[in-house]
Amino acid sequence: TSDDDVYGSALPQLYGEMAIDRWTLRAGHFFSLMGYERIAAVNNFFYSRSYAFGIEPITHMGALASYRLADGVEITGGITNGWDNGWLDPSEAITGLGKVSVDLTDRAALSYALTFGDLEPGNEVYLHSIVLQWRLSRRWEYVLQSDFLVDTGGAADVRQDYGMNQYLFYKINDCWKIGARIEWLRAESHNTLKYHNDVFETRTGMTFGLHYSPTCNLMIRPELRWDSATGPMANDFNDRHNTYQFAGGLDVILRF
């Protein structure tokens, strides 16, 4: 394999954007619209990622158009070259990307994002992500996310992942915030050529954390996390000896 097949550009985002009346047009390499967690770490409450984040694309290359239909209602759609590709498209991927965002009330917002098409010839994919964000009060906030993925893989095996995440946050004051995340994800593989040859795995996780920002450019995020798995290949933890794991972590982010 030549170096040209291995190395390439690594710019997370490089795009141009312009706005005309109610329209916003974007073209280039940009972060995905899918899911609740943001790509940049500083925009998330927890420093660890959810299982749902692992089945979602990170970046796209293409063009998008957004239209503000009314106050609190926006529709976005466009064409991309698959998932996590650079400026070149060696896989010949062609996918659609879209999102509808609606402010249900002044405290609740709902969004539906999807991507679909060919990741490569014969490999069709469909993924949608539904996110409900609800500010229960001045201090409490609740988030519900549900993802569904179907990936043909370009062969007899069809991958199907689906799950749900729930978040609950409480703002103590301007510096301190606490949060919890409960998640569940099921991954299935179906062989369309063989009878009773399905493989599945279910993962659940609970994460509890603190978010401390003593200044506007300093962020400290300690957390405790419990993970468990069931299925034929569930021994993923403790050097593949256990079906569960308890872990703790901490990160510090200084922006300048």
Q: According to the 3-state scheme, what is the secondary structure of the chain?
A: CCHHHHCCCCCCCEEEEEEECCEEEEEEEEECCCCCCCCCHHHCCCCCCCHHHHCCCCEEEEEEEEEEEECCEEEEEEEECCCCCCCCCCCCCEEEEEEEEEECCCCEEEEEEEEEEEEECCEEEEEEEEEEEECCCCCEEEEEEEEEEEECCCCCEEEEEEEEEEEEEEECCCCEEEEEEEEEEEEEEEECCCCCCCEEEEEEEEEEEEEEEEECCEEEEEEEEEEEEECCCCCCECCCCECEEEEEEEEEEECC
pLDDT confidence of residue 231: 80
pLDDT confidence of residue 195: 53
* One pLDDT digit (tens) per residue for the chain, 256 residues: 455 555 666 678 999 999 999 999 999 999 999 999 999 889 999 999 999 999 999 999 999 999 999 899 999 999 999 898 877 776 788 999 999 999 999 999 999 999 999 988 778 999 999 999 999 999 999 999 999 999 987 555 788 999 999 999 999 999 999 999 999 999 888 766 555 557 788 999 999 999 999 998 999 999 999 999 888 766 677 667 778 899 999 999 998 8
Compute the radius of gyration of the chain from its Cα atoms. Answer: 20
Residue 137 CB burial class (10 angstroms; 0-12, 13-18, ≥19)? exposed
What region does 119 belong to: left with phi over 0, alpha with psi -120 to 50, or beta?
Answer: alpha
pLDDT confidence of residue 8: 60
pLDDT confidence of residue 161: 93
pLDDT confidence of residue 87: 75
pLDDT confidence of residue 1: 45
pLDDT confidence of residue 194: 58
